[in-house]
Structure 1
Amino acid sequence: MPGLLSPLTRAVTYTRWLHLLMGAIVPLSCAMIYPGLSRPTASDWALVPVLPIPLILAVALVPGIRRAEGLQARLMLFPGAHARVRSEEDPGISAAPSTSWSQRARTGAWLLLRVEAGLAVAAVTEQLLAFTLSFAGAAAGEPDVADSLVPVSGTGWAYALLIPVSLLALAVVVTGAGALMARAARRLLGPSAKERLAALEERTERLLERDRIARELHDSLGHALTLAVVQAGAARASADPGFTDRALETIEETGRAALEDLERVLMVLRDTGRSAAARPALGEADRLLDSARSSGAQVDAEVTGPLDRVPGPVSREGYRILQEALTNVLRHAGSVPVRVRIVVEEKRLRLEVRNPLTAAASASGASGGSGLRGVRERAAFLGGEARAGRDGGDWLLHVDLPIR
């Protein structure tokens, strides 16, 4: 019994009921004009569900009707915040205007179903409530207090036992009709294959943007924190006040750059509408090289070819790749000689970072981690490739990116 009565405790049962009753407004309004409802005959009632059909089909041609019906169906036919019920299930109802004749036809079918089903539920509701009032009147000694199809004759307390029966029948009709309308809404107002594809593409774009932001934060903040740790450790171990001052200056500059990167990323996340600051490119690689040198690394850099010929996206990703490579060197190998080669060819950008493979770097597992995985993902995103591994006694990162 509790399971049978549970739909009566759900707000969505009554919003579905209201949604169905609203569908009866159009045919009843038309019937009030013609043939009139003052003294309707059986043939008059037969015209009520037929008269509004041309109007409904004409309205279904309006693109915005599909959006309006979709929003109503989402709000009234499915559990949600309005029903004080949490539902993780997507109702699968589109709220976009019609863009094809197929969608207009489905909208027309939905409107016809809503009107006819609403009219039927309104008639059943009216009759079951009339029976309930008649049973109550008969139990109180006043028969025929309501106009029902089947007159209730006689009186007596036994009629009071039939009141719950009519109310239970009404609950069954309302619950069943509401569930069927929800299923029909998914079929007739559900997204088309094109809309599903667009939603999937939008979700993919959001995931890619989140992944890009995660890589940006990892590279920028990871580089800044690594330099700060190395510089602070070297300054503590050094007894030279001049070196300590230079280390603090480097920490300050690196931290300021990291804060600028963090602010730019937060602006994107907040969607403030302001244009975010430009991302650094390979033209600013000297800043990375100087930061690595200030941390004690002996950086030998060589740039071949004009960096200004490198397209912006490739140049920006190349900057982040170089930043991650130098960060890995400082994190895993410490202050060691580093050779950096940047070669701009007609169709390719080649970037190479080589450093001695120390025992500490071997023990830390320099070939793994999210940093190198991010480097490979950046290269693959641009149609290039990145290789990292042992090369004799050195650790070599080689990146090859197309620039056309």
Structure 2
Amino acid sequence: MPLSLSAVLRPLFRAVTYTRWLHLLIASVAGMLTGFLYNKPFFAGGWLTWLWMAVLPLPLLLFAALIPVVRRVEGLQAQLLLTPGPHGLEARAASGIATTPSGSWSDRGRTALWLLLRLEVGVALSALTAQLPLVAGAFAMASAGRPTHLKGLPAIEAPHWWYGLLAPLPLVLLAAVAVGAGSLTAAAARLLLGPSAAERLTELEARTERMLEHNRLAQELHDAIGHALTVTVLQAGAARTAGSPEFTERALAAIEDTGREALADLERALRLLRQDAPGPAGRPALTDTERLLESARAAGADLRAELSGPLERLPGPVSREGYRMVQEALTNVLRHAGPVPVSVRIAADADALELEVRNPLPVASPAPGSAHRGRGLRGIRERAALLGGEAETGPDGGEWRVRARLPLRQLR
């Protein structure tokens, strides 16, 4: 079959052609129901009936367009009947047709234009759907030698066999009009029922929030799993070189506890990715700092901690992000400096939360600027910035210092 002929016939074998056809035929129902209120002119017959169907419902449709939910109903119907393929959430979003109620007068105006366009195109297509098969039938009857006198159509007084050559033409014309009207209606639906500027902005913000959430989860996994692996490696190496059964037992217990906590963090992150997590309530916060400090001590750090202020009253985001910042700072100490003296200060007051972790610089200091290339330290600064605070990392008087200040007044 030639390519051009195949392209012409292909729409006739697509289900969407007939769902769009049905969508337009349904539009004429409004005209038909309204016509029953005007018995005499409506039942005059012929093309006058179709004219009344295209005119009588106009005031009703203009009034319906003012109702916000009408836009939602029309959008759902357009998605189901005008766009092909599956209709999951992603497919519906890709259709370019909104399913939200009218939120502005601009939405109502576009809905009114859509209702009027759908009515006029639907009535015209309904008229052709009803009349053109009758014309094809009249040609077929004339080719068989039978005169035809169908109401509203020119009479064929002199039948002849060659009328049979004309019989397929009305059906071809009807199919072409149906395909074209369906495609144009789908394009008009995306234009008139598509998301408004405010809705596109809302969708963009939601998409950005999802991306930020995924980035946050990646940082959470980096902090939690990185800390657990660091502690595990240090404990295993110390147990191997200590040669003490008692120390080995304590090291194995610490490895077990750290691994269990890492598995809990991993499971929590996976639940969030599957969008079935109850919320952030299960994430560790600064009230769980003692557990974190014990884990660092078990890894060999000589740790001194100073905690002050009502940590249990801190806003949830500040408390949770503060915990991760301290965790990452301690992980970096264990990973790069080893079991050295570490001081941790966590102080909260009415204005701000201050975090500080200090440790002696290792003998082999990192190359200038290398500390800023690590993902962990960058994550600490990013967490602080997202909460409106600031974080500093770097050498300070022969020590490595991680300091962060998170404001609280704006979050209360």
TM-score (normalised: structure 1): 0.86
Partner of 1:126 in structure 2? Answer: 130
Q: Give the deviation of 1:176 after TM superposition.
A: 1.8
Distance 2:150 2:234 in 1: 90
Contact 1:232 1:247 in 2 (8 A): yes
Distance 1:373 1:158 in 2: 84
Mean CA deviation greater in 322-331 or 272-281: 272-281
1:52 to 54, 57, 63: 57
Q: Give the deviation of 1:164 after TM superposition.
A: 4.1
Alignment of 1:140-219 (within 5 A): 140-144=144-148, 149-152=153-156, 154-219=158-223
Distance 1:213 1:273 in 2: 13
Contact 1:64 1:98 in 2 (8 A): yes
Contact 1:333 1:360 in 2 (8 A): no
**Any idea what the Cα deviations from partners look like across 1:38-94, whole Å, max 9, x if unmatched?**
552665554332222233233333332221111001111122316x9x979723222
Partner of 2:110 in structure 1? Answer: 106
Residue 74 (1) aligns with residue 70 (2)? no
Q: Give the deviation of 1:278 after TM superposition.
A: 4.0
Contact 2:223 2:324 in 1 (8 A): yes
Q: Give the deviation of 1:174 after TM superposition.
A: 1.2
* Secondary structure of 1:398 counterpart: strand
1:390/1:113 Cα in 2 relative to 1: closer, same or farther (>3 Å)?
same
Contact 1:388 1:398 in 2 (8 A): yes
Q: Give the deviation of 1:331 after TM superposition.
A: 2.5
Distance 1:273 1:342 in 2: 29
Partner of 1:381 in structure 2? Answer: 386
1:65 to 67, 70, 81: 70
Distance 2:278 2:310 in 1: 32
* Secondary structure of 1:49 counterpart: helix
Amino acid at match of 2:408: I
Q: Give the deviation of 1:110 after TM superposition.
A: 2.0
Alignment of 1:25-40 (within 5 A): 25-33=29-37, 34-35=39-40, 39-40=44-45
Distance 2:370 2:277 in 1: 43
**Any idea what the Cα deviations from partners look like across 1:372-398, whole Å, max 9, x if unmatched?**
222111100111112223446543322
Q: Give the deviation of 1:349 after TM superposition.
A: 2.9
* Secondary structure of 2:289 counterpart: helix
Alignment of 1:217-232 (within 5 A): 217-232=221-236
Mean CA deviation greater in 269-278 or 53-62: 269-278
Contact 2:228 2:259 in 1 (8 A): yes
Mean CA deviation greater in 134-143 or 361-370: 361-370
Residue 244 (1) aligns with residue 248 (2)? yes
Partner of 2:257 in structure 1? Answer: 253
1:291/1:36 Cα in 2 relative to 1: closer, same or farther (>3 Å)?
same
Distance 2:322 2:398 in 1: 25
Mean CA deviation greater in 271-280 or 184-193: 271-280
Distance 2:277 2:237 in 1: 41
Q: Give the deviation of 1:115 after TM superposition.
A: 1.5
Contact 1:63 1:99 in 2 (8 A): yes
Distance 1:152 1:394 in 2: 105
Gaps of 5+ in 2: none
Contact 1:264 1:277 in 2 (8 A): no
Contact 2:285 2:322 in 1 (8 A): yes
1:285/1:179 Cα in 2 relative to 1: closer, same or farther (>3 Å)?
same
Partner of 2:295 in structure 1? Answer: 291
Contact 1:222 1:327 in 2 (8 A): yes
Amino acid at match of 1:103: D
- Between Structure 1 and Structure 2, how many residues are aligned? 402
Q: Give the deviation of 1:324 after TM superposition.
A: 0.8
Partner of 1:398 in structure 2? Answer: 403
Contact 1:304 1:344 in 2 (8 A): yes
1:12 to 6, 9, 16: 16
* Secondary structure of 1:386 counterpart: strand
1:36/1:389 Cα in 2 relative to 1: closer, same or farther (>3 Å)?
same
2:375 to 357, 370, 373: 370
Q: Give the deviation of 1:307 after TM superposition.
A: 4.0
1:148/1:5 Cα in 2 relative to 1: closer, same or farther (>3 Å)?
farther
Q: Give the deviation of 1:239 after TM superposition.
A: 1.5
Alignment of 1:346-361 (within 5 A): 347-355=351-359, 356-359=361-364
Mean CA deviation greater in 69-78 or 296-305: 296-305
1:161/1:367 Cα in 2 relative to 1: closer, same or farther (>3 Å)?
same
Amino acid at match of 1:9: F
Amino acid at match of 1:90: A
Mean CA deviation greater in 50-59 or 68-77: 50-59
TM-score (normalised: structure 2): 0.84
Residue 92 (1) aligns with residue 82 (2)? no
Q: RMSD of the alignment, in Å?
A: 3.2
Distance 1:274 1:385 in 2: 30
Contact 1:231 1:247 in 2 (8 A): yes
